[in-house]
Amino acid sequence: MTLGERLDAATRHLPAPLVVVDLDALEANAADLVTRAAGTPVRVASKSVRVRGVLERVLATPGFAGVMSYSLREAHWLAQHGVTDVLMGYPTVDTGALDALAADPVAARAVTLMVDDVAQADLAAKAAAAHGTTLRVCLDIDASLGVGVGPLRAHLGVRRSPVHTPADAGLLAEQLAERDGLEVRGLMFYEAQVAGMPDASAAVRAVKRLSVWDLAQRRALVLDAVTQAVGHRLDLVNSGGSGSVQTSVSDPTVTEVTAGSGLFVPTLFDGYRSFEPRPAAFFGLDVVRVPAPGFATAFGGGYIASGPPTASRQPLPVSPAGLALTGREGAGEVQTPLRLRGRADLRVGDRVWFRHAKSGEVMERFRDVHLVRGEAVEATVPTYRGEERCFG
């Protein structure tokens, strides 16, 4: 039985558009991440899941510990639902959310804020002072790679934190240590040029090797500088992503790695050599008309991923085989035309299955996700949207 036939059998009684997660693939991907982490705890990135029921399943897997959230309101909400260790992946200037966190002693111990600027830290310190509590913070260290000499330099990686050198980190840590109500807990290094880029060419692989070498030197120096500045040992050095788990854990200074997209494996992760991609998340659309020979039109589907507006951000039809988006219309706001190639054949009422380009983003389009095992729906759980939560 093909993938499409199995998903059709499991969801025949359900209307489309709909989204499913293949539990066998999800569990295999989770086990693979734990194996690649080789004993280092794996923190799950919530932005790549956005389904609390799935987060809970993953956290129950031995080897996973904690959540990396993308919004402070989300982090607080997860802490209220029993997650005891939530690391913010990004800074926040949401003063209302900071005040609510500082007013909740349990959540204040569960959530660690991310900072790379004293302006962010001052907002957190003000909230902590208002409630007589302590908020924990983590320094976001720029993990990009700079190559070249003088003005002839190239920046390889994302434009993230302004804190790059050990001196930068030490200075920021000193400034944080001077502020009442803040406790420096750790460091984060996200090497996007390693974790977030497929192994598409020899040049990309060379950049990855050079980045891994650079970070292996720099992490230890940054850790020493920050430890001296704050006067106590840090208990958290976070690094990596789904595409860089092995190289991140090879550095003895790293205490944990983060992974999220490696659970659902969207199309942007198909080109990695470091793991076997097992797609686990799919959305289904129903064919509503056949406008001409060799074409069919499905209802819905315009779920375009964030990032540069290229073809790689469009969803990919995967079942039945032989389908492609049309070049002129692509995935549409209300309807998605499909070109039929080879022996592909679609009739009104048939269901077409797609993969999204990114991992958790598609979950924002649905209220529920159906968890499929084999040919049956094992459970249906709400997405963040289904729990009436929208965190941006």
Residue 146: predicted pLDDT:
64
Domain with CATH 2.40.37.20 in the chain: 281-387
User: Do residues 281 and 266 touch, judged by C-beta distance below 8 A?
Assistant: yes
Q: Report the mean per-residue pLDDT for the chain.
A: 92
For residue 284, the model assigns a pLDDT of 98
Superfamily for domain range 281-387: D-serine dehydratase-like domain (2.40.37.20)
**149 band by pLDDT with thresholds 50, 70 and 90:** low
Quick: pLDDT tens for 178-212.
999 999 999 999 876 665 556 556 666 666 677 77
Nearest CA among 36, 68, 94, 35 for reference residue 360: 68
Secondary structure string (H, E, C) spanning 17-73: CEEEEEHHHHHHHHHHHHHHHCCCCEEEEHHHCCCHHHHHHHHCCCCEEEEEECCHH
Residues of the chain within CATH 3.20.20.10 domain(s) are 23-262
Polymer length in residues for the chain: 392
Single-letter amino acid, residue 317: P
Asked: is 23-262 a CATH 1.20.1090.10 domain? The reply is no
b/e 232-261 (16+ beta carbons within 10 angstroms → b): eebebbbbbbbbbbbbbbebebbbbbbbbb
Enumerate residues 6+ apart whose C-beta is below 8 A from 278. 25, 28, 29, 32, 265
pLDDT confidence of 274, banded at 50, 70, 90? Answer: confident
**Does the pLDDT value for residue 148 go beyond 60?**
no
pLDDT of residue 246: 85
Residue 267 gets which letter from DSSP?
Answer: G
pLDDT digits (tens, 9 = 90+) for 34-70: 999 999 999 999 999 999 999 999 999 999 999 999 9
Contact 244, 189 (CB under 8 A): no
Q: Which residues in 166-195 are b (16+ Cβ under 10 Å) and which e?
A: bebbbbbbebbeebebbebbbbbbbbbbbb
